C-alpha cells in the first residue's frame, strides 16, 4: 500500500526541468532510499513534496488524496515532516524551546493564555533524553555544534510524530559516532512504522537502511528496486560515476 505518490510531477525553474514527469510511489511503513548524482532533482522533490517550492505540473497523492498544490502549513495535517540539507532550526531559541514550539496545538484564543504545560515539558524531556541533548536544553540552538544541530533537527521530527518523514542528507558531514546515533534513531522510526524517505550519498548507509531504493537522474526516474539489485546496475553506476 502506497502512502505517498507522485503522478507525472513536474518542477521547472525557467527553462530547466528539475523534475521531469516523475511518477514514483512510497510504500507505507517502509524506508525508501533516494539516490542520484548532484542536480538529479532529489532535494527539489523533497521541496515540492513539502510545499517549499510550488508544483509546476502533475500531482502529489498523499494517503489517496490527489494534491496539485501543497502549502507548508498543511504538512502537519497531511502527516508529513522533513529535515533540511542545510539545517534549519529556530536559531535564537533554546534547544528545549525548539522542541516545545512544535508540540503546540493552538485554538483561536489559547495561544495568548496557554503556558508551557507539564505534559509538553515531559514530552520535550523524553525526546531530548532519547537523543542525548537534554543537558543542552537551555543552550541557544545557534550555539550548538554542527552535529548537534543535525541531531536537534531530527529530534524535532521525532517530537512531531508525523507518519511520513523526509530526511535530506541527514548524515552529511557527521563524524562516526553521530552517524551511529542517527542510524539508531532512523531504526526506531522504522520500528514505529513510519514511512521514511532518505536522501543520501553514502551507499553503505543506503544498503543498510533502505527497504527500497529509487535512483533519480535529470529529474526523472532511472531505476528502482531492492538496494543490492539497484546498486549493482550498470546504468546506476554510470549515472553516479559518469562512466
Partner 1 sequence: MYIPYVDIVPQLIANSVIAGAIYALIALGFNLIYGTTKFFNLAHGAVAACGAYAVFAILKTFALPVNIVVACAIGAFVAGIIGYGLERLIYRPLRRRKASNMVLMVASLGAFTALQAFIAILFTSQFQALESSGGISGAIEIYGAIITHTQVVIITCGIAIMAILAFIAKYTLFGKAVSAIKDDEEVARMVGIDTDRIIGKVFFIGSAIAGVAGILIGFDTGIEPTMGMNLLLKGTIASIIGGVGSLYGGFLGAFVLGFAENFGIWKISGEWKDAIAFVVLIVFLLVRPEGIIKK
Cα–chain-centroid distance for residue 211?
16
Selected binder of partner 1 within 13, 16, 72, 192 (CB under 8 A):
72
> Among the candidate windows 8-16, 21-29, 82-90, 191-199, which touches partner 1 by CB under 8 A?
82-90
Closest CA to 141 of 87, 181, 182, 103: 87
Selected binder of partner 1 within 100, 178, 216, 230 (CB under 8 A):
100
The residue (of 131 and 221) whose beta carbon lies closer to partner 1 is 131
List all residues 6 or more positions away from 184 whose beta carbon is below 8 Å from its beta carbon: none
Q: Is residue 11 a contact residue for partner 1 (CB under 8 A)? A: no
List all residues 6 or more positions away from 210 whose beta carbon is below 8 Å from its beta carbon: 31, 32, 33, 198, 227
Cβ 51 vs Cβ 72: under 8 Å: yes
Give 94's DSSP letter: B
Q: Is residue 104 a contact residue for partner 1 (CB under 8 A)? A: yes
Cα–chain-centroid distance for residue 227?
19
97: left (phi over 0), alpha (psi -120 to 50) or beta: alpha
Q: Is residue 71 a contact residue for partner 1 (CB under 8 A)? A: yes
The residue (of 157 and 213) whose beta carbon lies closer to partner 1 is 157
Q: Is residue 20 a contact residue for partner 1 (CB under 8 A)? A: no
Cα–chain-centroid distance for residue 89?
14
Selected binder of partner 1 within 50, 148, 195, 210 (CB under 8 A):
50
What does the alpha-carbon distance between residue 25 and residue 4 come to, in Å, rounded to a whole number? 6
Residues contacting partner 1: total by CB under 8 A: 32
Q: Is residue 106 a contact residue for partner 1 (CB under 8 A)? A: yes
Give the nearest distance from C-beta 4 to partner 1 in angstroms. Answer: 16
The residue (of 65 and 106) whose beta carbon lies closer to partner 1 is 106
Q: Is residue 121 a contact residue for partner 1 (CB under 8 A)? A: no
Q: Is residue 158 a contact residue for partner 1 (CB under 8 A)? A: no
Interacting residues with partner 1 (CB under 8 A): 50-52, 71-73, 75-76, 81-82, 88-93, 97, 100-102, 104-106, 108, 111-116, 156, 160
Amino acid at each position: 500500500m502506497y502512502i505517498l505518490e507522485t503522478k507525472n510531477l513536474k518542477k521547472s525553474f525557467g527553462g530547466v526541468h528539475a523534475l521531469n514527469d516523475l511518477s514514483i510511489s512510497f510504500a507505507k511503513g517502509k524506508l525508501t532510499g533516494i539516490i542520484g548524482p548532484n542536480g538529479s532533482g532529489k532535494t527539489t522533490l523533497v521541496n515540492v513534496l513539502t510545499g517549499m517550492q510550488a508544483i509546476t505540473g502533475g500531482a502529489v497523492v498523499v494517503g489517496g488524496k490527489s494534491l496539485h498544490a501543497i502549502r507548508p502549513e498543511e504538512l502537519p495535517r497531511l502527516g508529513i515532516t522533513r529535515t533540511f540539507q542545510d539545517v534549519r532550526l529556530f536559531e535564537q531559541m533554546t534547544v528545549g524551546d525548539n522542541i516545545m514550539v512544535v508540540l503546540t496545538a493552538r485554538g483561536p484564543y489559547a495561544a495568548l493564555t496557554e503556558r508551557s504545560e507539564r505534559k509538553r515539558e515531559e514530552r520535550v524531556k523524553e525526546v531530548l533524553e532519547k537523543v542525548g541533548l537534554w543537558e543542552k536544553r537551555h543552550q541557544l540552538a545557534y550555539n550548538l555544534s554542527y552535529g548537534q544541530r543535525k541531531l536537534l533537527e531530527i529530534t524535532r521530527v521525532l517530537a512531531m510524530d508525523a507518519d511520513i518523514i523526509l530526511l535530506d542528507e541527514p548524515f552529511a558531514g557527521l563524524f562516526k559516532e553521530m552517524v551511529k546515533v542517527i542510524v539508531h534513531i532512523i531504526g526506531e522510526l522504522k520500528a514505529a512504522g513510519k514511512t521514511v524517505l532518505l536522501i543520501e550519498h553514502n551507499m553503505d548507509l543506503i544498503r543498510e537502511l533502505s527497504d527500497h531504493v529509487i535512483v533519480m537522474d535529470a529529474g526523472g526516474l532511472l531505476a528502482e528496486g531492492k538496494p543490492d539489485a539497484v546498486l549493482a546496475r550498470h546504468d546506476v553506476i554510470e549515472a553516479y560515476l559518469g562512466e
